Homo-oligomer: A and B are copies of this chain.
């Protein structure tokens, strides 16, 4: 599953029917593709076919700038929604953060040592707290304050920065603000959030306090695509850890930080590696 230096990845979804695998494999074989990974899934109840296929571009005889034109007839025939990406073109990822820096620190370290295959052109925050960490990593840090009354202007400024930077994906690394519906709808399935509970349990505010009050024996974290409904988007990854009566709320917060870091970073990596397909408010994560 390591990053290939020169490969293409095709993600497809379409109504399920016979011959889809053969049609796609034949198309690629025509141009001498060396298929490295192929994984598919059928959702029987929705009659949906989903596929991820990755091939080496070494020896591939179709220039990638001609790929769309060559593949579109097949896509049209089968009603496919598709996208293709090249490992040589790194996605551009923005990180939003507030005051808690643990997810940011974790993402930046993974990025530095090559776990995350992306560029990070900017970090946006409503606070100054994480500036030093951003600068240590050589990443521009923009503070856009958010108040009770300036949300619209703040988001306009954020959009300006994101567009200027040509961003492909936004990661909310414990960014404590709720984005407007308008913001989210402009970037469907490209805003990744980490929520500090095992959703759908304890959605909304103060999940650790509520987990403590309820007396659960495990706490969790959930990474999901952001939709217009709070904490309700397609789940990409979840994880839990055991707690006991000896753990007070502060202990939950501490143990939860480890969950949040691991869960968010997995979701981000899978997204960057084009492993995630979303449908019916769920995800398929190809491995």
CA distance A217 to B192 in the complex (A): 16
* Bound-complex Cα distance A77 to B27 (A): 21
Check if A152 is an interface residue, CB within 8 A of chain B.
no
Does A26 sit within 8 A of B, measured CB to CB? yes
Per-residue B-contact encoding for A183-225, CB less than 8 Å = 1, 0 else: 0000000000000001111100000000000111110100000
Q: Please state if B217 and A251 are interface contacts (CB–CB under 8 Å).
A: no
Report A196 CB to chain B, min CB distance, Å: 15
Q: Tell yes or no: A65 within 8 A of B by CB.
A: no
Interface residues of A in 101-155 (CB under 8 A from B): 101-102, 105, 109, 113, 115, 132, 136
| Segment at the interface with B among A164-172, A173-181, A233-241 | A233-241
Copy number of this protein in the oligomer? 4
Q: Which of B136, B198, B281 contacts A215 (CB 8 A)?
A: B281
Contact B246 A41 (CB under 8 A): yes
Chain B positions within 8 Å of A230 at CB level: none
Classify the interface of chain A: helix, strand, loop or mixed: mixed
**Partner among B19, B32, B102, B198 whose Cβ is within 8 Å of the Cβ of A201:** B198
A38 within 8 Å of B by Cβ?
A: yes
Q: Contacts of A19 on B, CB cut-off 8 Å?
A: 29
Q: Which residue of B lies closest to A35 (CB)?
A: B21
Cα A198 to Cα B218 in complex, Å, equals: 9
Residues of B within 8 A of A38 (CB): 21, 38, 40
Is the beta-carbon distance between A235 and B215 smaller than 8 angstroms? yes
Q: Which residues of B have CB within 8 Å of A115?
A: 254
- Beyond A217-B238, A218-B240, whether A41 also contacts B1 by CB under 8 A is no
CB neighbours of A29 from chain B (8 A): 18-19, 22
Expressed in whole angstroms, the minimum distance between the Cβ of A100 and any Cβ of chain B is 9
For the complex, give the distance between the alpha carbons of A102 and B261 in Å.
14
Q: Is A157 an interface residue (CB 8 A)?
A: no
| A231–chain B nearest beta-carbon distance, Å | 11
Chain B residues lying within 8 Å of A258, measured Cβ to Cβ, are 262
Known: A136-B136, A218-B240. A2 touches B32 (CB 8 A): no
Partner of A34, one of B18, B33, B283: B18
Q: Closest Cβ of chain B: how far from A137's Cβ, in Å?
A: 10
Contact of A284 among B1, B22, B216, B245 (CB under 8 A): B245
B42 pairs with A39, CB closer than 8 A: no
- How many angstroms from the CA of A102 to the CA of B199 in the assembled complex? 28
**A35 to chain B: which residues have CB within 8 Å?**
18, 21
Give the 8 A-B residue pairs with the shortest CB-CB distance, closest first.
A215-B282, A22-B25, A201-B201, A22-B29, A217-B238, A245-B284, A21-B25, A2-B250
